Homo-oligomer: A and B are copies of this chain.
């Protein structure tokens, strides 16, 4: 079972990495960028019988610092094998 754990900073927490990216984009001449937030993504391949509780515990114990970070667990839909993850109108690029 493939999972994607998305870890993002909570609102109100300073994001120096995002600020640096924003600054760099502006410096490269990209206008119209209002805000940038940096986060982490962890792709897990776990056994099919792994419970939601176990996944939640992994996130709280290791993958995310819940004091300053939110996490979200996204699952690959069981019906769709080729897509890997449900990602709406996502475009795979740079392959």
Contact = CB atoms under 8 A, between A and B. Distances in A.
Contacts of A86: 86-90
Contacts of A88: 74-75, 77, 85-88
Q: Max chain B CB contacts within 10 Å: which of A31, A54, A60, A72?
A: A72
Chain A contact patch, size range: 35 or more
Contacts of A6: 41, 87, 90
A31 to B, nearest CB: 8
B32 A49 contact: yes
Interface in A20-50: 21, 24-25, 28, 30-47, 49-50
Interface of A: 6-8, 10, 18, 21, 24-25, 28, 30-47, 49-50, 54, 56-64, 66, 69-75, 77, 85-95
